[in-house]
Amino acid sequence: NQKYVCVSRPRRFGKSMAANMLAAYYSRGCDSRELFQGLKISKADACEKKLNQYNTIFLNMQEFLSQTSSMDEMLRLVKKSVLWDLFFEYPDINYFDKENFSRAMQDVYQQTKCPFVIIIDEWDCIFREYRENHEAQEQYLDFLRDFLKDKAYIHLAYMTGILPIKKLKTQSALNNFEEFTMISPGGFAHYIGFTEDEVKKLCEKSGRDFELVKKWYDGYLLGEYHIYNPKAVSNVIKWGNFQSYWSQTGTYDSIQPLINKDFDGLKSAIVEMISGAETEVKTTTFQNDMVTFRNKNDVMTLLIHLGYLAYDQKRQMAYIPNEEIRMEFMNAVEDSHWN
């Protein structure tokens, strides 16, 4: 029952790399023994038993979204792509209905006894691109539920994105998933992103000043771990330039509309955090989308998920994590002409 996992992290945090690694590990479509040789996992008893033993389907939802112009079209393309792979790999299977997506997967599993690992990257891109289209969102969630929920053919379903799973009314359409987020990272805290120990070793190896790297790029506290954005650390290790690499992957335009919302105490909290202070945040009312905001807590909770704020889970306090992000906030505030 713990085979459904959803990990949400900000952009450039290594989510896709982790998803690709899982695909390489599980997929029977490749031999990745050499890739994992000498790593900790190779010493585990179950490693050989699991390595390259599963029918693995990797879906990058952003790619399907980019190639289509409606939710109907996108879901048709997803189904057609997976079915094409199934029929190519298993032409001799006796299929009950070749147009029925989940039934075809069930037929393969029943007749081969080889279960599926489903890895979905950018699972939440629909909620970022179709922000106001609730009908498209529900259609997409219905598809995922039919595809993934309570299916015997699934050995593991692993989804990754920026936002946690969307709540519909008071329930989640995918309530069988265990979620590991920026607010509640659980046991996945140190697996996504660079830990402080890893950054220290990288600095020693490359001759970079660790204290300077820490000042610029430290600040995310996930459970007990200080986590660094891998994109920023990799660039400063490679080039030695201390600057905001965050703005190269997205601009402060994305936070301007959020911090300009007319909620009581929001602007003063932002200014205080730019100055180095912390502010209390209640994260429980956030609806896991980018349009439903009832108060300043919802805005700040979204900023935590987007990586613009860090969050101390024990004390329920938010703060600007480091110099890189502080610059983004200063640019956004300056452009908004706050007093």
Determine phi and psi for 132, rounding to 5 degrees.
-100, -10
CA atoms within 13 A on the CB side of 217: 31
The label of the residue with tokens 């891998």 reads 230
DSSP string, 213-225: HHHHH--EEETTE
DSSP string, 74-104: HHHHHHHHHHHHHHHH-TTS--S-TT-HHHH
* CA 65 remoteness from chain centre: 17
Q: What confidence tens digit (pLDDT) does each residue in 121-134 have? A: 999 999 988 888 98
Q: How far apart are CA 173 and CA 184, in angstroms?
A: 20
Q: What is the spatial distance between Cα 243 and Cα 235, in angstroms, rounded to a whole number?
A: 10
Instruction: Provide the whole-model pTM.
Output: 0.91
The per-residue pLDDT for range 88-110, each reduced to its tens digit, is: 999 999 999 999 989 999 999 99
The residue among 64, 98, 103 whose CA lies nearest residue 84 is 98
Sign of the torsion formed by the C-alpha atoms of 111, 112, 113 and 114: negative
For 269-303, the pLDDT digits (tens) are: 999 999 999 999 999 889 888 888 999 999 999 99
Q: Which residues pair with 55 in a beta bridge?
A: 116
Please give the mean pLDDT across all residues of the chain.
90
φ, ψ of residue 81 in degrees (nearest 5): -65, -45
Mean pLDDT of 65-89: 95
Amino acid at 235: N
